[in-house]
Amino acid sequence: MLQAKAPDHKYLMFKVVAVMGILGSCRREELCQMSLNNIEDLGNTIVVNIPDSKTRVSRTFTVITETYIDLYRKYLALRPAHPPTSIY
């Protein structure tokens, strides 16, 4: 199988958004409204809460794959310490 590689220095944000979107079955509006306050890092698991979806039902999903958790942490480390907004 052919495996494509996208360098993190250029595509890290897109990788994190894809992981969150696919694992959480998120709609584009949910991804746009997602903030760091909705994500809880528990060490070997990341718990993501989607508070208000299109169906008006709160949803939660977990990320347990170490590769995906590492991508999220790498992205989080690159964010400014005090950004003007907490939007993802």
Q: Which tokens belong to 42?
A: 């528990």
What pLDDT, on a 0 to 100 scale, did the predictor assign at position 47? 97
φ/ψ of 15, rounded to 5, equals: -65, -45
What pLDDT, on a 0 to 100 scale, did the predictor assign at position 67? 93
The number of folded domains in the chain is 1
The whole domain housing 46 covers 36-78
10 lies in some domain: no
25 lies in some domain: no
1 lies in some domain: no
Which residue is it, tokens 């939007």? 87
pLDDT for 8-66, tens place per residue?
889 999 999 999 999 999 988 888 888 888 999 999 999 999 987 777 888 999 999 99
Q: Is the pLDDT of residue 2 over 60?
A: no
4 lies in some domain: no
84 lies in some domain: no
What pLDDT, on a 0 to 100 scale, did the predictor assign at position 71? 94
27 lies in some domain: no
> pTM of this prediction?
0.81
